[in-house]
Amino acid sequence: MAVYEVKLKDEFIKLGQALKAAGLADTGADAKFLIQDGKVSVNGETEYQRGKKLHEGDVVSLEGSVVKIVR
């Protein structure tokens, strides 16, 4: 399992942006399709909103990879 950290520059980062920042999606379109297909979960819940705001401490999972949102 790969674990990535995405450092917040502002108060939050959107889910699609976090996937790109972690290198799990090459483009916003890639992120959109991963999310729409139900492959992404946030804090253990499947998430379908690309614009979901993530804050410090949130954990994103995608096909065995984990992205932790840190300050």
Q: How many domains does the chain have?
A: 1
Q: Is residue 10 scored above 90 in pLDDT?
A: yes
For residue 16, how many other CB atoms are within 10 A of its CB? 22
Reduced to 3 states (helix: H, G, I; strand: E, B; else coil), residue 52 is: coil
CATH number at residue 26: 3.10.290.10
Q: pLDDT confidence of 1, banded at 50, 70, 90?
A: confident
Helix (H) or strand (E) holding 64: none
What is the domain extent for residue 50?
Answer: 2-70
CA distance linking residue 54 with residue 71, whole number of Å: 11
What are 39-62's pLDDT values in tens digits? Answer: 999 999 999 999 999 999 999 999
